[in-house]
Amino acid sequence: MSNSTALPSSHANTVGNASSVPTFEVFNVRNEDHHPENGTLLGFWLYLMSDCLIFACLFAAYGVLGRSYAGGPTGAELFDLKLVAVNTSLLLLSSITYGFGVLQMQLRRLPGTLVWLAITGLLGAGFVAIELHEFAEFIHEGAGPQRSAFLTSFFALVSTHGLHVSFGIVWLVVLMVQAARYGLTAANRRRLMCLSMFWHFLDVVWIGVFTFVYLMGTLP
């Protein structure tokens, strides 16, 4: 009697073909791997909900502390609405260009996808650069986050959003490299859709910042 146990043919084929599977395919989730359909998108929606709670707390803190100037400068004295309007336009325009990139992705046009993603990244980088310039001007004028409760809550809210945009740009560059190297695979398309939700979410948050912080902050 033989002590050896025959392997199922499907397992044997899997072992035999393991060396021929491209590296990037190892990280792709297949339907037979018992992974729930749309599980990645559901998990990402849960992450966005947690991010909503973070920004809700920051908005609430600014709502409580936004008028506590401690004898320091007010929003009306500090904010340059023309510059903020330009910054807002860059971020909103980047959301549109990302949408064009998604349309190209759905048509399986890799060059067009990469071009629109690159434009999106440049617009996002311009947004971050203007925001850093604004922060530098405030600090140079002695209006740093330690000056008053108003400025503490302002820097906490706006810089948290800026960090999210910066992270989104890094994520965007990584996905562009993956798409250029491996093509618009199912995994890459799924990742691009997750980043799309993240990017549009940041636009919505910024509209709240622009209205609640900048516009209302310039009112007497």
Tell me whether residue 26 is in a domain: no
| Residue 28, domain member (yes or no) | no
The reply to whether 22 falls in a domain is no
CB 83 within 8 A of CB 130: yes
- Give the CATH number for residue 108: 1.20.120.80
Domain that holds residue 166: 87-220
Count up the domains in the chain and report the number. 1
The answer to whether position 33 is within a domain reads no
Residue whose entry in the numeric block shows the structure tokens 């971050």:
128
Is residue 13's pLDDT more than 60? no
Per-residue pLDDT reduced to its tens digit, 59-86: 999 999 999 999 999 999 999 999 999 9
Q: What share of the chain is helix, strand, coil (3-state, %, to 5)?
A: 80, 0, 20
CB 128 within 8 A of CB 45: no
Question: Coil, strand, or helix at residue 217?
Answer: helix
Q: How high is the pLDDT of residue 43?
A: 86
Going by C-alpha positions, the residue among 94, 104, 112 that lies closest to residue 201 is 94
174 assigned to some structural domain: yes
Q: What's the pLDDT tens digit per position in 81-119?
A: 999 999 999 999 999 999 999 999 999 999 999 999 999
Tell me how far apart the alpha carbons of residues 188 and 105 are, in angstroms, rounded to a whole number: 10
Structural domain includes residue 181: yes
Q: Is residue 56 part of a domain?
A: no
What gap in Å lies between CA 163 and CA 202, rounded to an integer? 11
Please, are residues 179 and 110 in contact by the beta-carbon 8 Å criterion?
A: yes
Question: Given a cut of 60, is residue 205 above it in pLDDT?
Answer: yes
Tell me, yes or no, whether 195 lies in a domain: yes
